């Protein structure tokens, strides 16, 4: 029995665009942080004060953004592996954005909301893209 492709396949194309957007903004945010000499003073109740170098966080943003962007392009090609990689990367990005929330609250919230839509669309309607292309 062949399953038909529905209009929901458009959500997966939206996911590809959203991944490109999230990835490119992470790359931009990462580049800004990498070239920033600022340090952040943090406080841990058990460990005391610590100094965090923003450029270290920038490298993680940069790498994660590059991977998200490449995966977004792969989703346009309806690659099955891209859906799995996208789900894993979006979950990592969601956790990362929660950690980064105090530094960039508005972008982190936007990224978390977009990531939620991406997860929903890829897990519910992701297989329709492969059927639509083949």
- Look at 9 and 1; give whichever has higher pLDDT: 9
Alpha carbon of residue 121 to chain centroid: 14
Distance of CA 74 to CAs 27, 77, 108, Å? 18, 5, 24
pLDDT band at residue 131 under the 50/70/90 scheme: low
Contacts of 54 (CB under 8 A, 6+ apart): 33, 36, 38, 39, 40
pLDDT digits (tens, 9 = 90+) for 24-71: 988 988 888 788 766 554 555 566 555 566 777 788 889 999 999 999
pLDDT band at residue 91 under the 50/70/90 scheme: very high
Percent of the chain at pLDDT > 70 equals 74
Question: How many angstroms separate the CA atoms of 82 and 1, rounded?
Answer: 26
pTM, whole model, 2 decimals?
0.76
What pLDDT was estimated at residue 1?
Answer: 43
H helix runs in the chain, sequence order: 9-34, 54-76, 80-100, 105-125, 127-133
């Amino acid at each position: 029995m062949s399953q038909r492709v529905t209009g929901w396949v458009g959500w997966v194309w939206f996911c590809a665009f959203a991944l490109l957007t999230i990835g490119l903004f992470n790359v931009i945010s990462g580049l800004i942080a990498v070239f920033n000499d600022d340090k952040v003073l943090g406080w841990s109740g058990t460990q005391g004060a610590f100094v965090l170098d923003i450029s270290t966080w920038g490298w993680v943003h940069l790498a994660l953004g590059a991977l998200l962007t490449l995966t977004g392009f792969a989703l346009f090609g309806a690659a099955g592996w891209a859906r799995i990689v996208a789900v894993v990367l979006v979950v990592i990005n969601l956790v990362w954005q929660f950690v980064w929330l105090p530094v960039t609250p508005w972008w982190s919230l936007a990224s978390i909301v977009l990531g939620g839509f991406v997860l929903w669309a890829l897990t519910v309607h992701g297989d329709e893209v492969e059927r639509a292309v083949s």
